[in-house]
Amino acid sequence: MRSFLCWVLPLLLVLASVTQGQPTRLFPQPYEPSEPTDLPPPLPPGPPSIFPDCPRECYCPPDFPTALYCDSRNLRKVPLIPPRIHYLYLQNNFISELPLESFKNASGLRWINLDNNRIRKVDQRVLEKLPSLIFLYMEKNQLEEVPSALPKNLEQLRLSQNLISKIPSGVFSKLENLVLLDLQHNRLSDGVLKPDTFQGLKNLMQLNLAHNILRKMPPKVPTAIHQLFLDSNNIETIPNDYFKAFPNLAFIRLNYNKLTDRGLPKNSFNISNLLVLHLSHNKISSVPAINNKLEHLYLNNNSIEKINGTQICPNDLVFHDFSSDLENVPHLRYLRLDGNYLKPPIPLDLMMCFRLLQSVII
């Protein structure tokens, strides 16, 4: 035993002198990827296609020869697009630019989906090469301004969830066929929307400016508009007769703004064709006047303390006999008033006026 200790003790002393002042953990540290985390590798090429011009990193369905599926493949670059392609799917990749070379023979493209990539800017020469383009989807990218030289035949332009804070002058001026413009979840402020910003959009039916930083209603919205989305901004007032300019307007969303009675002229929403009105999560304390065609009214989470059916009934129709006048029956079917300072029961004059009501939430 003594001989064993005589042999072991010197060895321990040597080890102690070597490790003094050194980290006690001697085994290798695990690899930690640099920030930002490295991108996943591109997927391996698929099997050969029946189409010789089909990029190996994409899929060309035999029964849909005008379509090219390059989505969700961890791509960094756009492959060369064959001339026969009309429908191009590039969503859910890591593409940061659109090189002119990739689109040089793709003049027949009608549909491009570039959602969820990393595109910061679009070379206008690329879009000039696409005269037949009708649908352009670029949601969830890193664009800081609306792309220029947009094809004049475009019908839908979806640019939501970008970083857009600039709209170049005249960028929409030639888009007479555009029916849908989606700019929600960007960084648009009042100074960005000029009186001529939407000039030229003669057939625009849906405009989505929700989740921006607007404090005022957008100026000179196209008169053909059917649906207007402005929820989750900082809008405080609506100008007199603002909606009178839109004879076809049927759907308005103004939820999550800063509207008060003071900022709402008496007949702001008393317009002829309005069917659905969203005003929830504001600071409104009285029910605004409505037309008899309105079917859905959302006033939940405001500051309403009382409701007078006689005052809000369109055209003073509370005790009107509708048996021979069904056309003028107020069409309201759904009414939300929860999240206010109201208590049941529902006022009788409210039910007497809106006889088609199917659901009232207080």
Domain-located, residue 127:
yes
Residues in the chain: 362
Largest CA distance in the chain: 119
In the prediction, which pLDDT does 69 show?
Answer: 97
Instruction: Give the Å distances, CA to CA, from 177 to 32, 59, 208, 245, 307.
Output: 51, 31, 17, 20, 44
Identify the CA nearest to 71 among candidates 95, 88, 90, 97: 90
Q: What is the CATH number of the domain that holds 99?
A: 3.80.10.10
pTM: 0.86
Q: Tell me whether residue 361 is in a domain.
A: no
Q: What is residue 243's predicted lDDT score, i.e. its pLDDT?
A: 97
For the chain, residues with pLDDT lower than 50 are 1-2, 4-37, 318
Domain hosting residue 107, numbered range = 46-134
Give Cα separations from 107 to 64, 86, 130, 173, 350 (angstroms): 18, 9, 5, 22, 59
Residue 111 lies in a domain: yes
- Strand segments, DSSP code E, in 151-205 are 156-158, 180-182
Tell me how many domains the chain contains. 1
pLDDT in tens, 132-158: 999 999 999 999 999 999 999 999 999
Which residues of the chain form beta strands (DSSP E)?
Answer: 67-69, 87-89, 111-113, 135-137, 156-158, 180-182, 206-208, 227-229, 251-253, 276-278, 296-298, 334-336, 359-361
Is residue 37 in some structural domain?
A: no
For residue 80, being part of any structural domain is answered with yes
The reply to whether 216 falls in a domain is no
Whole-angstrom distance, CA of residue 254 vs CA of residue 280: 7
| Among 250, 203, 251, residue whose Cα is nearest residue 223 | 203
Q: How far is CA 162 from CA 17, 115, 138, 143, in A?
A: 60, 10, 9, 5
Evaluate whether residue 165 is within a structural domain: no
In a domain, 79, yes or no: yes
